[in-house]
């Protein structure tokens, strides 16, 4: 691949990465506004915001930084540029979408179900999109993938175990826990088990963007 081809490939990869982060963040905001319960990590972020102040996005960034450190100490996972960008940009996207007030708080059952269903689907789609260019998984997903590789557990099992622990901590801090939280814990793993391979296939076939030079470069 020539210089121009490499530049084009890199642009496509970063575009997919950024778009995935934005879609995933919007999915999180939809679930927050559905008021049916949020994912474990967001229970923690909201609980921290309620207890100590600051915004949900800022706490997402702080927790991400702590998880990066833990991933390095426990699994020797060194953060790449993509990991740092993930930590910073998701926090910004969350606060931006909440500030823009694009999605009103759901005030009836039908709206709650619609917001929640759309949120979990967009979350899984966005996660697969940002992982597929292989620019580096986010802090939480880096830990998930590292444990998946080191322990030999499935992604569903690793994610479920981590999120139960985070959920308890968030609940103790006053984060919102409801039926949606349970549904997310059960269904998010199987969904991303499908979206990650799908988007990797999308990136690989027409653009040949997933190869040793892209993974390691």
More confident site: 108 or 200: 108
Average pLDDT score, the chain: 82
Give the chain's radius of gyration (CA, Å).
Answer: 17
pLDDT digits (tens, 9 = 90+) for 69-93: 877 777 777 788 888 998 999 999 9
Residue 43 Cα distances to 1, 64, 176, angstroms: 45, 14, 6
For residue 217, pLDDT over 50 is answered with no
- Provide mean pLDDT across the span 134-163: 74
Residue 205: pLDDT band (50, 70, 90) is low
pTM above 0.75, yes or no: yes
Q: What is the pLDDT of residues 1-31, one digit of tens each?
A: 556 667 777 788 888 889 999 999 999 999 9
Q: How confident is the model at residue 98 (pLDDT cuts 50, 70, 90)?
A: very high
> Is the confidence at residue 215, as pLDDT, over 70?
no
Of the candidates 175, 171, 165, the one whose C-alpha atom is nearest the C-alpha of residue 140 is 165
Q: How far apart are CA 190 and CA 180, in angstroms?
A: 16
Which pLDDT value is given to residue 202? Answer: 75
Is the model's pLDDT at 210 over the cut of 90? no
Q: Could you tell me the two tokens for 213?
A: 């030079």
């Amino acid at each position: 691949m020539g210089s121009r081809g490499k530049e084009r490939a890199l642009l496509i990869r970063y575009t997919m990465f950024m778009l995935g982060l934005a879609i995933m963040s919007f999915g999180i905001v939809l679930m927050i506004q559905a008021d049916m319960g949020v994912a474990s990590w967001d229970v923690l972020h909201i609980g921290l915001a309620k207890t100590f102040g600051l915004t949900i996005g800022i706490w997402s960034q702080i927790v991400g930084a702590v998880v990066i450190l833990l991933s390095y100490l426990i699994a020797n996972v060194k953060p790449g540029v993509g990991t740092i960008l993930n930590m910073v940009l998701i926090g910004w996207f969350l606060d931006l979408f909440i500030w823009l007030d694009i999605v009103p708080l759901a005030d009836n059952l039908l709206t709650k179900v619609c917001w929640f269903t759309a949120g979990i689907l967009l979350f899984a789609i966005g996660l697969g999109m940002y992982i597929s260019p292989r620019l580096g998984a986010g802090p939480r997903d880096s830990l998930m993938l590292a444990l998946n590789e080191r322990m030999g557990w499935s992604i569903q099992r690793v994610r479920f175990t981590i999120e139960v622990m985070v959920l308890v901590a968030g609940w103790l801090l006053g984060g919102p826990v409801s039926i949606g939280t349970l549904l997310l814990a059960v269904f998010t793993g199987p969904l991303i088990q499908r979206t990650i391979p799908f988007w990797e296939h999308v990136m690989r076939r027409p653009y040949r963007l997933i190869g040793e030079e892209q993974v390691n470069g």
